[in-house]
Amino acid sequence: MSFFNKFVNTEKSASTKEQKQIDKKLKQLNSARYNNKKVLSAVEIQNSYFGDGVLVKDSTTDNVCYIDILSGLHFSNFGKKGDDSYDLREFLVREDNIEYVLASLEKIYEKSDQIMEGCYNEIYSEIIKFFEESDVEGLKSDFNLEYLKENWYLSGVAIYDDHAEFSIGIDAAGNSEEDSYYEIVIFVDYGTEEAEVSFNVVW
């Protein structure tokens, strides 16, 4: 894994086309005060597994918040699912911890099939329990454990200093609206690489 930090000082004059793009975007972000925080600088990263990207350091100074300024980080699909259209919901990582986080994520993505195999039974049980105990229309007639394994998808990812959260979607209900009544999130710890399933009713 190759990695480097390149701090972009927004007070310096832009010299390259790429630098001008970054400076322009940072100026727009500062005008809008992204999430009510003033953007201080950009950090460019290069990673052989996830690709290149630009992180933006906000006014809290302790965290780096991800903003898709140029190409962004091209995350390999977790569990070989999705079409890169899922949402990178948050990247809140200490500046001095980025290298560790990216290395940990690479290991997790590489063993994502194994991680999911350890989660399927619990996810399936929670979905069945929800439809049995809730006043909703019901499951698809062909919904079973194998259907879940073949048809789940990745709907979002959030990345933190010590763990990552993977939001999982599944079209299980006869009425698709009822799939929005619950959320499934898999928490994976970087240190242990162990996963924990969270199933929450959200209606």
Contacts for 109 with CB less than 8 Å, ≥ 6 apart: 49, 75, 76, 78
The pLDDT averaged over each successive group of 10 residues in the chain (203 residues) is 35 60 70 66 78 73 56 73 70 83 94 96 96 85 95 90 94 88 96 96 86
Give the Cα separation of 91 and 84 in Å (integer): 16
pLDDT number for residue 176: 82
SS (H, E, C) 124-135: HHHHHHHHHHCC
Angle at 199 between CA 105 and CA 88, to 5 degrees: 35
User: How much is the pTM?
Assistant: 0.79
pLDDT number for residue 120: 97
pLDDT number for residue 48: 84
How many residues are recorded in the chain? 203
Among residues 50, 56, 26, 60, the alpha carbon closest in space to that of 157 is found at 50
Angle at 135 between CA 130 and CA 136, to 5 degrees: 75
